[in-house]
Structure 1
Amino acid sequence: MYYQSTRGGIDPIGFADAVMMGLATDGGLLVPAEIPQVTPDQLRRWAGLNFQELALEVMTPFIGDEIPREDLRSLIDRSYATFSHPEVTPLVEAGGNRILELFHGPTAAFKDVALQFLGNLFEYLLARSGGQLNIVGATSGDTGSAAIYGVRGKERIQIFILHPKGRVSPIQERQMTSVLDANVHNIAVRGTFDDAQSIVKSLFNDLPFKSAYHLGAVNSINWARILAQSVYYFYAWARVSGGDPERRLSFSVPTGNFGDVFAGYLAKRMGLPIERLVVATNRNDILTRFVHTGVYAVGDAVYQTLSPAMDIQIASNFERYLYFLLDGDSAQVRAAFESMRETGRLEVDAARHDQVQADFDAASASDEETLEQIRSTYSGSGYILCPHTAVGVHAARGMRDVVCLATAHPAKFAEAVREAIGLEAAQPPSLQGLMDKETRCTELDATQEAVKGHLRDALGEGV
């Protein structure tokens, strides 16, 4: 399997190189040259597999012979041994909804599904090559802690995570800043998530700096994250369908950076019988507006909401979808993003907008609607939703045969839950005592030069 850039500026590379490159050197995102197809017979056979076995089958075609099958099996088993539930991503019923719980990893968020695997994958590839990796990432909440927990203490890896100061939940902040391993560096930038993400992208686009400091990515721009997240769509479908290839199922996905819903789109392109993918957003609704209008346009501001991991204007993985929507035409992708850079918007034609609406539904939820959904689900079933999950459940109202992705444990958002139902969710063991731990964090201006200087200080002049 080979990978190429959405912007067409690199020669095809293999899976291992794609993982280590993260963001393509031409500024685009890496995508497979072809998407493997799953047959009805495979779907029937896979339906009886546990999560780890299923992950091995889904990932193998994208990796090819670059990692021996038994090594890949070992990486997968080690990655999901850290999860507290034997099913890894169990499917439950609550308030008349099917809920796919993705929060049983060490940081109680869906990002663990990908980042526990990616941390082990990095370690494996670096041990094989003898190389070093300095991870730089931006987080709107959960990615940072999941990435840190995926690589903390690992040899050959340093990790630098940027988060917007005061714009993540207290527990999310403490999960990151209380990890004191020597290879972990937390940075609070005085700005928004989009500011932090823009800084990270600029560092990766500075090719001499990226090369000199061996930069790598853990944000959902890294293809391995998309691949790992696609597995739970197959898993949920199998639990509902029993392996019947004729049974179609929809998914409602709380969406900020478009990575999670793109993983579902990948599964659908592979042949998983998905009826609809619902793009569920909060007040920062650039993606919902795109699905409805065909226009992707930046709004006036990034709004702070009760679902902070979705407080995003520029969704990184949207470029991957646009590449496939434009039939793999890299020149059109480049032109679209040049227009976006100059005018703050891009627009697709009527035929392609029809395709967007065939691929996705979309809905947004205000903070008031989010709170009401938490209240309604709790009063009807005693089940507590986190505010992000509540956005997804709200967006799925009236739909049949839909699975709602639960992206975080409700205890991570105690204030929102308390406001909705007057009590807090019981904390899982991974969160207990967190607020009493010692912390370490550096505060910086939200500029590329400030972050560059911090990396130079930490790593030396060219490593």
Structure 2
Amino acid sequence: MSTFYHSTRSRNESVTSKQAILEGIAADGGLFVRDDIASGAPALDELLSGTYQDRARLVLGHLLDDFSADEIAGCVSAAYGENFDSPAVTPAVRCGDEWVLELWHGPTSAFKDVALQMLPQLMRVAREGDGRRVMIVTATSGDTGKAALEGFADVAGTGVTVFYPDGKVSDVQHLQMATQRGANVAVCAIRGNFDDAQTEVKRIFADGALRERLARENVVLSSANSINVGRLVPQVTYYFDAYAQLAAVGALTPGDPIDFCVPTGNFGDVLAGYYAKLMGLPVRTLVVASNANDVLTDFITTGTYDRRRPFHKTISPSMDILVSSNLERLLFYLSGEDTELVASLMAQLAEEGHYAVPAGLLDRLHETFACGRADDEATRETIRATWEGEHYLVDPHTAVAKHVLDARPADGVARVCLSTASPYKFSADVLAALGHDVAGLDGFACMDRLSELTGTTAPAALSALRSAPVRFSDVVGVADMNGYVERTAKELLA
């Protein structure tokens, strides 16, 4: 029997995982969750055997259990094949006394590929026999946008609209989106930051009048952000897979504890690790690494979430976020699945810009989560020191996590740092961190110079951007995003 999903803010609506994936966000603005993730989870020894694809089938089959085994198998086969340049999909690499989990071997060189090669497959199956067309609407701080565009490009019956903050993504990230091929895609910059884009996307999903107008056109809105449970759950797999890789080389014995350090802004990546813990992975600590936009570090330390603070543009732009949507799901589980508490905290955040959790909830948070931060200076120093000391090249987001992890005393427990992007997506900042002048160099000149200096090779898809024609140059104000979505839905899904 299928396990139903409901909102983090109420239990008024029960839906299957297929329905949750298609709807993206609950009608009351909450995020879809299911009760008791541990119940019925596969045994740990099952999850540690076989290949990445085997683990993905088990994880997805458990968390999305109204999909049949054959449906899940077909989705996994389509999502994780030759589109990843490593047969391991997410290889774990030794770096000094720690391990780095490379999540960027997919088509857009970022960790989002792991989920966004899967989500279109899940959505395709969920739509079978439905007859409706789907418009994917997504806000991005840099990586989600390209991964969503790549995953959904030319998927029948589906359109994709991506909003990103104008001037606040790297040159390579911008070109990845602006040059995207596909007859069903649209890309638009907004005058504001990522939080502005994300907040307005949530309002668009909550706009009943827009939903009704699109329904008359047989169109439903959905999301490729990690607010969509179909984007979140594929990420759970690589936590089990990392553990299995370490066990296979004797870095730990099955049953031993493990720590993960995750660079995060929107909290989805580290939340997937918490789901893995709930499913039985012996995770001791999940270390949340923040850049100068350290709202999560302050929250984990104090229990007070306060977005009323300056927004900093950093060299790790995918983490330049002050409103971490997926934290809402964690609050649901840590509160004992208390939807009323979550609803009240989210209302206070929307109205006043802050909230504080009860003391007992904070205690439960500290049982699993730790935190740290790295400003741009510390990030640059970590990039340089990691290259000079270990001959290993990291991007600015991975460097934030490595800085935080290195500051924590080692005690013999295996430690894994999640690497979320290829250093070549941020070649100018990486090159500058290595002490080289980048004045007057464009992103591709920096890419070439970085390759020459380090003897490493840029991913082919990134190098190819230099000759790709720019297709999208739209820029709108936040207030115009709603109208842009409606116009785009009619154009792309006509």
Bucket of the pairwise TM-score, normalised by the shorter protein: over 0.9
1:441 is aligned to 2:454: no
TM-score (norm 2): 0.90
User: Counterpart in 1 of 2:432?
Assistant: 419
Once the two structures are overlaid, the 10-residue window that deviates more, 139-148 or 74-83, is: 74-83
User: Counterpart in 2 of 1:17?
Assistant: 19
Deviation at residue 457 of structure 1 after TM alignment: 2.6
User: Counterpart in 1 of 2:231?
Assistant: 225
1:186-197 → structure 2 map (5 Å cutoff):
186-197=187-198
Give deviations 1:320-358, integer Å, cap 9, x for gaps.
111112211111111111221222110012222111111
User: Counterpart in 2 of 1:335?
Assistant: 344
**Distance across 2 between alignment mates of 1:176 and 1:340:** 31
1:270 is aligned to 2:279: yes
User: Counterpart in 1 of 2:387?
Assistant: 378
Give deviations 1:243-271, integer Å, cap 9, x for gaps.
84421100000000000000001111111
Once the two structures are overlaid, the 10-residue window that deviates more, 415-424 or 167-176, is: 415-424
User: Counterpart in 2 of 1:111?
Assistant: 112
Please tell me whether the aligned partners of residues 188 and 476 of structure 2 are also in contact (alpha carbons under 8 angstroms): no
**Distance across 2 between alignment mates of 1:128 and 1:72:** 17
User: Counterpart in 2 of 1:289?
Assistant: 298
1:8 is aligned to 2:10: yes
* Among 451, 458, 461, the residue aligned to 2:488: 458
Equivalent AA in structure 2 for residue 72 of structure 1: I
1:67 is aligned to 2:97: no
Equivalent AA in structure 2 for residue 75 of structure 1: C
Deviation at residue 61 of structure 1 after TM alignment: 1.6
Give deviations 1:218-277, integer Å, cap 9, x for gaps.
000000121100000000011223484421100000000000000001111111100100
* Among 418, 421, 438, the residue aligned to 1:405: 418
Deviation at residue 442 of structure 1 after TM alignment: 4.2
Give deviations 1:422-449, integer Å, cap 9, x for gaps.
352531112112033111224333323x
**Distance across 2 between alignment mates of 1:77 and 1:5:** 30
SS of 2:117's equivalent? helix
User: Counterpart in 1 of 2:210?
Assistant: 209
Give deviations 1:165-200, integer Å, cap 9, x for gaps.
110001111111111311010010011001110110
User: Counterpart in 2 of 1:252?
Assistant: 261
Please tell me whether the aligned partners of residues 178 and 473 of structure 2 are also in contact (alpha carbons under 8 angstroms): no
**Distance across 2 between alignment mates of 1:164 and 1:340:** 22
TM-score (norm 1): 0.96
Give deviations 1:200-232, integer Å, cap 9, x for gaps.
001001123134331110000000121100000
Give deviations 1:397-452, integer Å, cap 9, x for gaps.
1334210000000000011101111352531112112033111224333323x122
**Distance across 1 between alignment mates of 2:31 and 2:247:** 33
Deviation at residue 125 of structure 1 after TM alignment: 2.4
**Distance across 1 between alignment mates of 2:278 and 2:420:** 23
Give deviations 1:135-189, integer Å, cap 9, x for gaps.
0000000000000000001110000000001100011111111113110100100
Deviation at residue 95 of structure 1 after TM alignment: 3.2
**Distance across 1 between alignment mates of 2:139 and 2:484:** 15
SS of 1:287's equivalent? helix
Please tell me whether the aligned partners of residues 123 and 156 of structure 1 are also in contact (alpha carbons under 8 angstroms): no
Equivalent AA in structure 2 for residue 241 of structure 1: A
* Among 458, 462, 468, the residue aligned to 1:431: 462
**Distance across 1 between alignment mates of 2:489 and 2:39:** 43
Deviation at residue 55 of structure 1 after TM alignment: 0.4
Please tell me whether the aligned partners of residues 444 and 451 of structure 1 are also in contact (alpha carbons under 8 angstroms): no
Residue identity over aligned pairs, in percent, reads 38
**Unpaired runs of 5+ in structure 2?**
215-219, 437-448, 452-456
**Distance across 1 between alignment mates of 2:459 and 2:476:** 34
1:41-56 → structure 2 map (5 Å cutoff):
42-56=43-57
Q: How many residues align?
A: 460
SS of 2:243's equivalent? helix
Deviation at residue 74 of structure 1 after TM alignment: 1.4
Please tell me whether the aligned partners of residues 137 and 218 of structure 1 are also in contact (alpha carbons under 8 angstroms): yes
* Among 363, 367, 380, the residue aligned to 1:358: 367
Deviation at residue 56 of structure 1 after TM alignment: 0.3
User: Counterpart in 2 of 1:28?
Assistant: 30
Give deviations 1:343-388, integer Å, cap 9, x for gaps.
2110012222111111201000010000011111100121100100
Equivalent AA in structure 2 for residue 437 of structure 1: A
SS of 2:310's equivalent? coil
1:71-220 → structure 2 map (5 Å cutoff):
71-81=71-81, 82-213=83-214, 214-220=220-226
Equivalent AA in structure 2 for residue 441 of structure 1: F
**Distance across 2 between alignment mates of 1:212 and 1:157:** 17
**Distance across 2 between alignment mates of 1:10 and 1:435:** 50
SS of 2:432's equivalent? helix
**Unpaired runs of 5+ in structure 1?**
none
SS of 1:154's equivalent? coil
Deviation at residue 46 of structure 1 after TM alignment: 2.7
**Distance across 2 between alignment mates of 1:212 and 1:270:** 41
Deviation at residue 63 of structure 1 after TM alignment: 2.1
SS of 2:118's equivalent? helix
Deviation at residue 37 of structure 1 after TM alignment: 4.2
SS of 2:43's equivalent? helix
Equivalent AA in structure 1 for residue 450 of structure 2: E
